[in-house]
Structure 1
């Protein structure tokens, strides 16, 4: 049977493919260090686990409203007020089956065939694929490494056409960890307002920042930008709840209503138990979040220094998330490989270290390393990479 064209055009997730291969090697008994995972290595905090258990004991295991339980919506509006000084009503919030599903549903709701969405590269691997599934066209705009991989106003303006519907801003970014400043967001926002573009503000890493910089949502900057922004967020990264699959979108009522109607015919509702767990996450103390962030900061400092000791590696230090995105094109050339992808495959085969090639993020000269693993594992991985490079140089 021939599959639908929209499925045939999809590119498989690079991160999931690398993770799957690393797991397969581990199952064969190999000592594999996987630096591909996009999830914290900490367990979900116990007070959240307790809330989920209580929900089960209390029989809260039935269908919920398609857009999420009202209590969780209220806690999300409280969080947005507390953290971003933004005011939303419950009608402006949808709880989704992870932030990924929020993005998928949003693109389904706002895009008509041929509509364009500007996607700065490097980008999270699912952005272009989700846009294509909604019959839209992702317009990839390469952000310069010299500008810390951030889209400039000039680049944004040059990419806009009569078909442009929206632009994605991911800050802090996956895969780079870089973050936009208030001034940079204002400059981009002015252009979006001028051309009537919807802003998709992916803020899933906003709690994981390791510098003195403060996270700013573009929706905070003016009433006009507030009205043209859909915020995407969730508990996956901030509270180590990737498997619970709870995200949310906050934005204009008509968009959220459309997303809720679509969710009612797809997922019915996010998992009831997970919603009560997320409710506890947003209402509870952030002590565990702070502890996790402290550990990530230590790992970042150590791994960044170790990478810079490897021949050919160039790597700016990021502000947030839990990734490093070094340029290793020179390293690959020094080692005799024709591409970074080939080097990454050889590294996994020979030294059993799994990295994600930057080609999956629209940046083929780079690799993504997740430091969401123990310090000991990171130090061992860096040692293996250095040994690999030195062996292939000789």
Structure 2
């Protein structure tokens, strides 16, 4: 056989057949693509990746320097001092967590909350329920864990939220008799910044209890709830069946530090022990220096509050600008209540896009990137089963968070941040949104 015709063995015959379409996390892949374009000298407005624009808090950095020497394998569930500090932290903010939940023995610390969501799936015998739209990794983890999935489609009219009605309707159309169910819940939400009201959570809790659904409530953006909104945990209304996952990544601008944790109610102690066992055979423990540094930081409640209150009000002001300018040109979009995302729906432009042979969200985002240099994540990968969705996830974080934070502190929390603050200190995001709005306007011409 000639060398030209030889088939190169790339190991594909070893790969699981159900993973033939399995690829990298779309948000991370997009982030690398944009960084490559930027390294080539292209000026890209990067609104496709959800990473905090603010610096890691000084208190956290100094604590890390202090504890960098630590190299021991620590407890698989996290050092005792950190778990106590986590309880102190949560008890300092009104979240509605039951007292019995926020106890050190209920907490498992890991290198990010993502692995804890995955391991909870792996150690349970469940069919996994996902809402659409949702964070892209949830579905990929379900596939990797080899679990059956059920998709609950949540429309714009419901603010992209899962409701008792659409959940029940979806479940009644499935053969789920004698099957255990696990729902991945996200509040506040990614990709839309949604926030469930106490009335909505109470109603959902009743349905979860009726179907005996185990819920992983991903509440990683809770500490970034905006000043005009009110966050309450699902655990208040469904304490016996809710596993809360969260961490430092989003609110304290420490995504790359990989410090996350899960809080298991006493009623689910068996699952917690199974996750700890799985941890011992996978990541072993969260890195020791990060744990000791996080302990010092979380115990300084005033430093946490200062950083949290300033950064979230800046994000709130930027979100208001984004929604206002996009709505003005006909984009359908709900306001964000937390985090740094909105989920714009461009379906009002479907006919105009069709005249340019643009029929999918991916085609639309490709055109926007090419013509405006604004990078967005297409909504089709978030809607899971709707390839023609004309939505995007927009992350309004491409501004100088160091300068914005500095000026916000100079202004003081007793003074509001106006539109002039966003125009002056978040200018790259303003430019990106104005370019996107102009692109939409030009579609009509």
Which residue in 2 is equivalent to 1:107?
121
Alignment of 1:313 with 2:342, yes or no, is: no
Deviation at 1:4, TM superposition (A): 2.1
1:117 pairs, out of 128, 134, 139, with 128
Distance 1:281 1:147 in 2: 38
Which residue in 2 is equivalent to 1:323?
341
Distance 1:391 1:196 in 2: 51
Which residue in 1 is equivalent to 2:232?
216
SS of aligned partner of 2:336? coil
Q: Deviations along 1:304-348, whole A, 9 cap, x unmatched?
A: 1111233x4111112112111110123353242222220101111
Alignment of 1:22 with 2:34, yes or no, is: yes
Distance 2:433 2:349 in 1: 14
User: Which ranges of structure 2 fall in alignment gaps of 5 or more residues?
Assistant: 1-10, 400-425
Which residue in 1 is equivalent to 2:411?
none
Distance 2:291 2:159 in 1: 36
Distance 1:129 1:155 in 2: 23
Which residue in 1 is equivalent to 2:142?
131
Q: Is the CA contact (8 Å cut-off) linking 2:364 and 2:390 kept in structure 1?
A: no
Go from structure 1 to structure 2 and tell me whether the alpha carbon gap of 1:17 and 1:47 turns closer, same or farther (over 3 Å shift): same
Q: Could you tell me the TM-score, scaled by structure 2's length?
A: 0.83
Distance 2:105 2:441 in 1: 58
Q: Deviations along 1:343-392, whole A, 9 cap, x unmatched?
A: 10111122211001111111622111101222211111122223333444
Moved >6 Å (runs of 4+): none
Alignment of 1:265 with 2:286, yes or no, is: no
Q: Is the CA contact (8 Å cut-off) linking 1:329 and 1:339 kept in structure 2?
A: no
- CA RMSD between the two structures: 1.7
Q: Is the CA contact (8 Å cut-off) linking 2:19 and 2:143 kept in structure 1?
A: no
Deviation at 1:81, TM superposition (A): 3.3
Q: Is the CA contact (8 Å cut-off) linking 2:379 and 2:392 kept in structure 1?
A: yes
Residues 222-233 of structure 1: matches in 2 within 5 Å? Answer: 225-233=238-246
2:321 pairs, out of 287, 302, 305, with 302
Deviation at 1:267, TM superposition (A): 0.6
Q: Could you tell me the TM-score, scaled by structure 1's length?
A: 0.93
Residues 77-88 of structure 1: matches in 2 within 5 Å? Answer: 77-83=87-93, 84=95, 85-86=97-98, 87=100, 88=102
SS of aligned partner of 2:262? strand
User: Which ranges of structure 1 fall in alignment gaps of 5 or more residues?
Assistant: none
Distance 1:346 1:17 in 2: 18
Q: Deviations along 1:90-141, whole A, 9 cap, x unmatched?
A: 331100111111111111111x3xx311111111101111122222122111
SS of aligned partner of 1:139? strand
Distance 2:66 2:17 in 1: 45
Which residue in 2 is equivalent to 1:369?
394
1:288 pairs, out of 295, 307, 329, with 307
